[in-house]
Amino acid sequence: MIAVSPTDFEIYLFHEGSLYKSYELFGAHVIKQDGMVGTRFCVWAPHAREVRLVGSFNEWNGTNFHLIKVSDQGVWTIFIPENLEGHLYKYEIITKDGNVLLKSDPYAFYSELRPHTASIVYNMKGYRWKDQAWKRKKQRKRIYENPLFIYELHFGSWKKKADGSFYTYQEMADELIPYVLEHGFTHIELLPLVEHPLDRSWGYQGTGYYSATSRYGTPHDLMHFIDRCHQAGIGVILDWVPGHFCKDAHGLYMFDGAPTYEYANIQDRENYIWGTANFDLGRPEVRSFLISNALFWMEYFHVDGFRVDAVANMLYWPNSDVPYKNTYAVEFFQKLNETVFAYDPNILMIAEDSTDWPRVTAPTYDGGLGFNYKWNMGWMNDILTYMETPPEQRKYVHHKVTFSLLYAYSENFILPFSHDEVVHGKKSLLNKMPGSYEEKFAQLRLLYGYLLAHPGKKLLFMGGEFAQFDEWKDLEQLDWMLFDFDMHHNMNHYMKQLLKCYKRYSPLYELDHSPEGFEWIDVHNAEQSVFSFIRRGKKENDLLVIVCNFTNKTYHNYKVGVPLFTTYREILNSDAAEFGGWGNVNTKRVAAINEPFHGKPYHVRMTIPPFGISILRPVKKRGERKKNEEEKMHRHVIGRRAR
């Protein structure tokens, strides 16, 4: 229960850096105590000479609304004996120099629609969640051994109404959820939804870390959206930016006339590339603010994970000619991850880190940063460089494909084709592919197939699933009219089948983070740019044979070494006519020949499609299939008896 006055213990923990639910102390809270209803406001302004409360309830005149300083380190509070829910407000801060600043509440739960900037008194309680089944399922799941294919999207430009306006959180539930289910993605990842003044910052330059942006509705509307996702079996990950914030006058920057949330040293504070200010990660009150913010989104919005933005920018001090480790950031990440995993052991904490910092996904007790996933930026850069190389020259950059397997198990990786790769003149994934119109599509199908087959979890930015030709246009919706064109429609069909294949066959995900899950068959065929390898599941002989051809040549009777003396069935071929390909597929089963090849005891002869990927699965013998069916029936009967 929130008291009329902050407790000494709350204030102590906040200044110590360990008040991890500081949103219960700070901000505006309507409270009932001893039969009295009122609204308590609390703010941290350590350098202020005076703080007043102004808003729609006092005609923006703070003369008689002075906050009381209850901490020598700058905690101020005021209690108004009336329910101010729905009212606008700001803090009028008198600096040491006598300047007057009008600031939004750093802990506001709701904010005015841009371009207005006032905070709004809002009651976060009252929404009745219906995602209990999802939460139970999540507790049982072993995330490392299950499929994880994330659909990344920007809420404001995925789809827009005919008049160009945004869909609301509630309306988007009806539009987006069926689409995600139809394709088979396991999670969605939303670009930042914190309140931000400029649409084109995509939420990465925030002012209201506790305010779900009012562009699309109220906080309860966002709860409804996430609840609907969970009820449909879709996880929700938020892009989260604890490294830096925007410098608009009403926000966190120089909050009380001096560096408060940001570093005092200008070289550490200023993020010149983005025009933002870096959070002072060494300041205890800032740690309380940021770690509490993660718990806030988990508690009130039931989010399933965070993609932590710009980790590299935090691990190293900015504006330095040489990389210089920021120990404050290391301590912050470790404490952040320890805290969120204590709250929810199944949370996804994903580091967007482009450096070779070691042990990002190792536990903190073992010296790691404590994340459980890291974006594999190296793999992404290498494979896109390889794909943009003309096919006849790919033999000279063969290592761009092979290098990732040298470090694939050093961290728990997610393989990302994110928004960063299809904006600012980088071209769409389809348009990165060289060659003719048909060859572009063939190579993109191959690229997606290789993404599927490579160890690691997966992420794809919106529009990639139907091969958007233009790069992302953040002020417009996706080019949905492309579904009227056969090649884009076929690509979308291919993606759906790819995801079905991914979720159906356990070797594609069970041992993503273990060397036992991958084995090269032929890694040296640079001349033909053909790669073959095995993906294995946990069960003995549960495996897939994968062959990728990165040139436009078709090979018939191509020899590939295989581990089992059986027949193999092609379960996926990116060159199938139904996907827009030329139809070079293996329609019949291919039988293993009792002759060693590629260092394997047997081999098969098969058709290798141009710019294509072929996935083969060993066919179980009839007796083995019958035994498996009998075992399954026996387990079913025993299970029924037990119930």
Q: Catalytic residue positions? A: 309, 352
How far is it, in rounded angstroms, from Cα 582 to Cα 554?
A: 10
Closest to 470 (Cα-Cα) out of 436, 423, 438, 420: 423
Q: How far apart are alpha carbons 140 and 85 in whole angstroms?
A: 39
- Say which residues have a Cβ less than 8 Å from residue 412's Cβ, sequence separation at least 6: 144, 361, 372, 373, 374, 512, 513
The amino acid present at 427, given as its one-letter code, is K
Residues 60 and 55: their CA atoms lie apart, in Å, by 5
CB 325 within 8 A of CB 333: no
Tokens 């949370």 sit on residue: 347
Rounded Cα distance between 124 and 16, Å, is 26
| Residue 426 CA: distances (Å) to CA of 2, 77, 386, 523 | 50, 49, 15, 30
- Direct distance between the N- and C-terminal alpha carbons of the chain, in angstroms, rounded to an integer: 43
Residue type for position 272:
Y
Amino acid identity, position 161: K
Specify the DSSP element, H or E, that contains 180.
helix 169-183
Extended strands (E) in 49-148: 50-55, 68-69, 75-80, 88-94, 100-103, 119-120
Neighbours of 472 (CB within 10 A): 22
The whole-angstrom separation of Cα 234 and Cα 408 is 27
Backbone angles phi, psi at 101, to 5 degrees: -115, 140
Token pair of 19 as six digits: 């008040």
What does the alpha-carbon distance between residue 155 and residue 166 come to, in Å, rounded to a whole number? 9
| CB neighbour burial string for 620-629, b if at least 16 within 10 angstroms, e if fewer | eeeeeeeeee
Tokens of 602: 């047997």
Separation CA 601–CA 592 (nearest Å): 10
Query: Are 380 and 416 a contacting pair, CB within 8 Å?
Result: yes
Q: Which residue has the tokens 């009820």?
A: 231
Pairing relationship of beta strands 373-375 and 413-417 according to DSSP bridges: parallel
Backbone angles phi, psi at 510, to 5 degrees: -65, -40
DSSP helix/strand/coil, 544: strand
Q: How many residues does the chain have?
A: 643
Q: What H or E segment, with its residue span, contains residue 348?
A: strand 348-351
Q: Which of 404, 430, 400, 568 is nearest to 495 (CA)?
A: 430
Residue 410 has a CB neighbour count (10 Å cut-off) of 14
Compute, in degrees rounded to 10, the torsion defined by CA atoms 176, 179, 181, 184: -120
